[in-house]
Amino acid sequence: MTAALPHHIEAASPHVMNTYGRLPIALSHGQGCRVWDVNGKCYLDALGGIAVNTLGHNHPRLVPALQDQIGKLIHCSNYYHVPLQEALAAKLVELSGLENVFFCSTGLEANEAALKLARKYGHDKGIERPEVVVYEKAFHGRSIATLSATGNAKVQAGFGPLVEGFIRVPLNDIEAIKKATAGNPNVTAVFFEAIQGEGGVHPMNDQYMRDIRKLCDERDWLLMIDEVQCGMGRTGKWFAHQWSGVKPDVMPLAKGLGSGVPIGAVVCGPKAAQIFKVGNHGTTFGGNPLAMRAGVETIRIMEDDNIIANAIHTGGHLRAALERELSGLAGVVNIRGRGLMLGIELALPCGELLKQAADEGLLISVTADSVIRLVPPLIMTTAEADQVVAILVPLIKQFLHGKTHADSVPVASLINE
Ligand SMILES: Cc1ncc(COP(=O)(O)O)c(C=O)c1O
């Protein structure tokens, strides 16, 4: 059983706004792919702070680098030049083949910037009411604009009126987007996640991405690919769209870029790099020295330690083991994803597995009600992946078996991003 919370941590904290569905666990520290709660119970971390802790916990090179930076300068504002911004931007430009970068602090901010770029791109061309193509099941964040772009009625409920100017289409259907935009002169951009995370680990096909690139070129639209969750090495390339060979015009990043230090970035290609002029966009915290150092060191360590190769190796090993154990089992719809971004879709809502897994010492998440999502630190070893399988597979089997009894009530998942 999960140990009870200590007295000073109330299950329903009266002073913290009640916006998340939390497990009755408080974590105190971590090491590599393991974390411990305040009662000393150890968990294997296959969630990575929701695809954030790229280098796991207490990394022996990242921690001293951040300590060094904290002792020098944490924040100074963008009234001044921040040399670490140039260092990180140059690296992101090199890795993406794009041109320049705007820094912010979160995924939704990166996506807000992308949406503003799409609007200004239109206005600069004389389009007064620009429209952006977005996707069913998409998740782009919780601000009013990004939740309007999100394709999930649950996230949007209660927050109308939503921002206008979005055209929604199904995934991987080139004819559908052509039909939805036919004769519309106001479209300025197409915006999607290379692999949808929160929506249930749904990849865009490589061929579809190539077809969309061609369409965007023909029609002078911006191709904007949200790599907030699937980017930064998680799928076995620096950015998930790179599997398809295309280059976006606008690429929002966040999550894994700082290994846990809040950071966001919008990386732009030539078509988008000069849209914003001085005064068009900004943020107080964006690009501060601590976040920039986290980004620079994360990438340096990833390169030195071949972390991307590890994501492919451990991800392939994990997927093969899950397929061996679960494929063909009644109630398992399929296993999908790339590298260390994997989803196991079950035929029933399975939110209750979150707590059951934690009880057994494994941290996971469940998205889209019935998809178990595994997004562990990219340093996970194959031995640790075997432990994930050893804990998770019996739970899934037991869960599916339990659901054959008429009295069981499936539990939907909560969105905690
Ligand atoms: C693809 C994608 N875009 C944007 C966001 C929003 O990022 P943040 O929670 O940092 O605002 C998320 C968060 O889960 C995401 O998965």
CATH number of the CATH domain containing 207:
3.40.640.10
CATH code of the domain covering residue 328 = 3.90.1150.10
Q: Hey, how many other C-beta atoms are within 10 angstroms of the C-beta on 4? A: 11
- Please identify, by atom number, the ligand 1 atom nearest to the C-alpha of residue 264: 10
- Which among 281, 263, 221 is positioned nearest to 88, based on CA atoms? 263
Q: What's the pLDDT score for residue 83?
A: 98
Domain presence at residue 4: no
To test ligand 1's pocket by mutation, which of 135, 140, 283, 365 has the most ligand atoms within 8 angstroms of CB?
140
The continuous run of DSSP H or E covering 77 comes out as: none
Q: How confident is the model at residue 178 (pLDDT cuts 50, 70, 90)?
A: very high
Phi, psi of 49 (to 5 degrees): 60, 35
Q: What's the pLDDT score for residue 3?
A: 47
The verdict on 51 and 86 lying in the same domain is: no
Q: Amino acid identity, residue 352?
A: E
The continuous run of DSSP H or E covering 140 comes out as: none
Domain presence at residue 17: no
* In the predicted structure, residue 168 carries a pLDDT above the cut 50: yes
Domain range enclosing 314: 27-59+306-402
The verdict on 273 and 378 lying in the same domain is: no
Out of 304, 324, 342, pick the residue that ends a domain.
304
**Crossing angle for the helix pair 289-304 and 62-72, to the nearest 10 degrees:** 160
Domain presence at residue 262: yes
348: its two tokens: 């029933």
61: its two tokens: 């090179």
Number of domains comprising the chain: 2
Q: What's the pLDDT score for residue 1?
A: 41
Domain presence at residue 411: no
Do the Cβ atoms of 407 and 387 come closer than 8 Å?
no
Return the residue whose CA atom lies nearest to atom 3 of ligand 1: 140
pLDDT tens, position by position, 11-56: 568 999 999 999 999 999 999 999 999 999 999 999 999 999 999 9
* In the predicted structure, residue 405 carries a pLDDT above the cut 70: no
Mean pLDDT, the chain, integer: 95
* Residue 132 CB–ligand 1 contact under 6 Å: no
The verdict on 210 and 221 lying in the same domain is: yes
- For residue 259, report the distance from its CA to the centre of ligand 1, in Å: 15
Mean pLDDT of 77-106: 98
3-state secondary structure of 44: strand
Q: What's the pLDDT score for residue 17?
A: 95
Return the residue whose CA atom lies nearest to atom 7 of ligand 1: 107
Mean pLDDT of 139-157: 97
Do the Cβ atoms of 190 and 215 come closer than 8 Å?
yes
198: its two tokens: 């929160």
Q: How confident is the model at residue 6 (pLDDT cuts 50, 70, 90)?
A: low
Out of 247, 278, 304, pick the residue that ends a domain.
304
- For residue 142, report the distance from its CA to the centre of ligand 1, in Å: 8
Mean pLDDT of 123-139: 98
To test ligand 1's pocket by mutation, which of 108, 112, 142, 148 has the most ligand atoms within 8 angstroms of CB?
108
The verdict on 221 and 351 lying in the same domain is: no
The verdict on 232 and 200 lying in the same domain is: yes
Q: How confident is the model at residue 413 (pLDDT cuts 50, 70, 90)?
A: confident
Q: How far apart are CA 395 and CA 147, in angstroms?
A: 33
Percent of the chain with pLDDT over 90: 93
The verdict on 157 and 169 lying in the same domain is: yes
The verdict on 282 and 166 lying in the same domain is: yes
* Residue 417 CB–ligand 1 contact under 6 Å: yes
To test ligand 1's pocket by mutation, which of 228, 371, 373, 414 has the most ligand atoms within 8 angstroms of CB?
228
The verdict on 253 and 397 lying in the same domain is: no
Domain presence at residue 204: yes
To test ligand 1's pocket by mutation, which of 198, 241, 367 has the most ligand atoms within 8 angstroms of CB?
198
- For residue 405, report the distance from its CA to the centre of ligand 1, in Å: 37
- For residue 224, report the distance from its CA to the centre of ligand 1, in Å: 15
Domain presence at residue 269: yes
Q: What's the pLDDT score for residue 404?
A: 66
Q: What's the pLDDT score for residue 417?
A: 86
DSSP string, 156-184: HTT-PSPPS-EEEE-TT-HHHHHHHHTT-
* In the predicted structure, residue 8 carries a pLDDT above the cut 70: no
The verdict on 311 and 336 lying in the same domain is: yes
Q: What's the pLDDT score for residue 148?
A: 98
Q: How confident is the model at residue 10 (pLDDT cuts 50, 70, 90)?
A: low
Percent of the chain with pLDDT over 70: 96
The verdict on 172 and 272 lying in the same domain is: yes
Domain presence at residue 417: no
- Please identify, by atom number, the ligand 1 atom nearest to the C-alpha of residue 196: 1
Query: Per-residue b/e over 106-124, b at no fewer than 16 CB within 10 Å?
Result: bbbbbbbbbbbbbbbbbee
Domain presence at residue 379: yes
Do the Cβ atoms of 177 and 190 come closer than 8 Å?
yes
* In the predicted structure, residue 61 carries a pLDDT above the cut 60: yes
Q: How confident is the model at residue 403 (pLDDT cuts 50, 70, 90)?
A: confident
* In the predicted structure, residue 4 carries a pLDDT above the cut 70: no
The verdict on 136 and 221 lying in the same domain is: yes
The answer to which of 72-81, 134-143, 302-311, 398-407 has the lowest mean pLDDT is 398-407
Q: What's the pLDDT score for residue 206?
A: 98
* Residue 193 CB–ligand 1 contact under 6 Å: yes
Instruction: Name every residue whose Cβ is closer than 8 Å to that of residue 308 and which is 6 or more positions away in sequence.
Output: 233, 236, 237, 238, 302, 378
